[in-house]
Copies of this chain bind each other. A is one copy, B any other.
Amino acid sequence: MGFEAPERARIAYPRACWYVACESSALRKRPIARTVLGTPLALFRGDDARPAALLDRCAHRNLPLSEGHVLAGNVECPYHGWQYDAQGLCRRVPALAEAPEHKGRSVPAFPVVEQQGYIWVFMEPGRAPTGLPYSFPHLGDADYGSIRFASEVEATLHATLENMLDVPHTAFLHRGLFRGGPKRPITAIVRRFGDRAEAEYIGEPRPSGLAGRLLAPRGGTVVHFDRFLLPSIVQVEYRLDESHLVVTNALTPVADFHTRFVSVASFCLPLPSLLVRLVLEPLAKRIFRQDARILRLQTDAARRFGGESYVSTEVDLLGPHIWRLLKQAEQTGMPPAGAAPELERRVELHV
């Protein structure tokens, strides 16, 4: 190719942190296979139905344990019937006369927490987890309704995070569904902290389009925050008088160009919950399909050109900060939560 060599794709994997492995409802009597950060996991319910996550590879002949069964809280390999407990210790080798427990026969076990209907896995098997998984706000609050959603995209973690928090493309790609009326200047304040980044939109009028009309039937000025939290949480928050909407996505990098996510929209709106659901759900799905197609095209380009080659402008409010935070966390581990911003910047954008 006769032009400048592209950079590698923006792929960074903070490892010693919590990711959603699956929904609680997906894990029943049989073990299941899930991949997180390229690592195949066998998930199963051990003693007292508590979830467990082992590397999905029997120590003996490497068969996937997720293809076996669960017996009395242990997972059993489908080839020779070796059994492992929730800690990955080998508890049975059927043909062997001696006791089966032997350190060399164990399988790496990952810390697991079940919380708010999701099973989270800490992706560093030999380390005590630092803190608890992220907790979705207002999920289960009496005043709030909630909608859950889950899907996956053929894109890097970074491209997906940036897309979910990017404002300019909404006025263009989702024209009519979400923004896209006559253009107005908005001021955004971008702040980067040690472990997160946010954009606050000042004096933003009610978003046009159907979503805007639903959120604030009487118009007015919105409080609007877009947030990224390490390692892979994105949140969009709108507030207007008594209306409040928080959409939080927890992303799971499956492989370099494959990202899953679970989504929780919590809302307190001057409308019946059922009506919100009937309008918001199909709208969100149409928006998601448009984004999923764009992200797949972006991935195709990275593959075809052997990497990415980005140019950013000041209206790419959060993408470059997300990349910086991901890259740092991959190299030096998860940072402490910073109270004061390391960086604050005002940007004017037209949407």
* Residues on A facing B (Cβ under 8 Å): 1-3, 15, 37-40, 55-57, 59-64, 67, 78-81, 93-97, 104-105, 108, 123-126, 159, 167-169, 171-173, 183, 185, 294, 297-298, 300-302, 304-305, 308-316, 348-351
CB < 8 Å neighbour of A95 from B40, B67, B310, B350: B350
Cβ contact within 8 Å between B38 and A81: no
**7 A-B pairs (CB sep. < 8 Å):** A1-B38, A2-B39, A61-B159, A67-B297, A79-B172, A79-B294, A79-B298
Shortest beta-carbon distance from A84 to chain B in Å: 12
Q: In the assembled complex, how far is the CB of residue A275 from the closest CB belonging to chain B, in whole angstroms? A: 32
Q: In the complex the two chains form, is A39's CB within 8 Å of B1's CB? A: yes
Q: Would B105 and A59 count as touching, CB distance under 8 A?
A: no
| Contact across chains for A108 and B297 when beta carbons are under 8 A apart | no
* Least Cβ–Cβ distance between A39 and chain B, in angstroms: 6
Which chain B residues border A185 with CB–CB below 8 Å?
97
Instruction: Verify B79–A173 contact, CB threshold 8 A.
Output: yes
Q: How many Å from the CB of A53 to the closest CB on chain B? A: 13
In whole angstroms, how far apart are the Cα atoms of A310 and B58 in the complex?
9
- A94 contacts which chain B residues (CB < 8 A)? 168, 171-172, 183, 350
A139 to chain B, nearest CB (A): 30
Copy number in this complex? Answer: 3
B95 touches A305 (CB 8 A): no
Contact A62 B96 (CB under 8 A): no
Interface pair B57/A350, CB less than 8 Å apart: no
Query: Are A169 and B80 CB-contacts (below 8 A) given A3-B108, A93-B315, A96-B350?
Result: yes
Contact A349 B294 (CB under 8 A): no
Establish whether residues B61 and A298, one from each chain, have CB atoms under 8 Å apart when the complex forms.
yes
| Complex alpha-carbon distance, A125 and B159, angstroms | 29
A94 to B171, CA, bound (A): 9
Q: Assess the B311–A105 pair: CB atoms within 8 A.
A: yes
Q: How far is the CB of A314 from chain B (nearest CB, A)?
A: 8
CB distance from A348 to the nearest CB of B (A): 5
| Chain B residues within an 8 Å CB radius of A37 | 1
Shortest distance from the beta carbon of A288 to any chain B beta carbon, whole Å: 15
A83 to chain B: closest CB distance in Å?
A: 11
Determine how close the nearest CB of chain B comes to the CB of A297; give it in whole angstroms.
6
- State the Cβ distance, A301 to closest chain B Cβ, in Å: 4
Residues of the B chain whose Cβ atoms lie less than 8 Å from the Cβ of A351: 95
Q: Say yes or no: B309 contacts A2, CB within 8 Å.
A: no
